[in-house]
Amino acid sequence: MFSGNYFFQGFYYSINMRKAIVMAMYNKVSRLSLKSLSETNSGKLITLISSDIFAVERNMQFAPLIISAPITNVVAYVIIGVTSGWIYTLIVFAMTVVMVAVQFALTIKTRAM
């Protein structure tokens, strides 16, 4: 229920961070000499801005989930335990742990390639 608020805050902070980084980059570029501006390809600057800012922005968007995910999981486990039984809560918890472990292993395997 509250995860939408955390997503909104994450997007809000990431957009503000993006604006600050782009503004800092443009300020740096505006102070370059004419010689260095003629030697530097504009495509390099755009690529630098796009890749670096996207990496920072992507992580900032999901940072609030660090706070909301444990709370959401605990509430869900309590609801499952009260309504269906605590054994089912343990089964769901075990399935969640297995899914996270498999995703983590696949992420490491993909990055190693």
Supply the mean pLDDT for the chain. Answer: 79
> How many structural domains is the chain composed of?
2
Model-level pTM?
A: 0.50
pLDDT of residue 6: 66
| Structural domain contains residue 85 | yes
Does one domain contain both 24 and 46?
yes
| Structural domain contains residue 68 | no
| Structural domain contains residue 13 | yes
Of 45, 63, 81, the one marking the end of a domain is 63
Does one domain contain both 58 and 77?
no
Structural domain of 45: 1-63
| Structural domain contains residue 93 | yes
Q: Check if the beta carbon of residue 57 is closer than 8 Å to that of residue 17.
A: yes
pLDDT digits (tens, 9 = 90+) for 17-38: 778 877 877 777 777 777 776 7
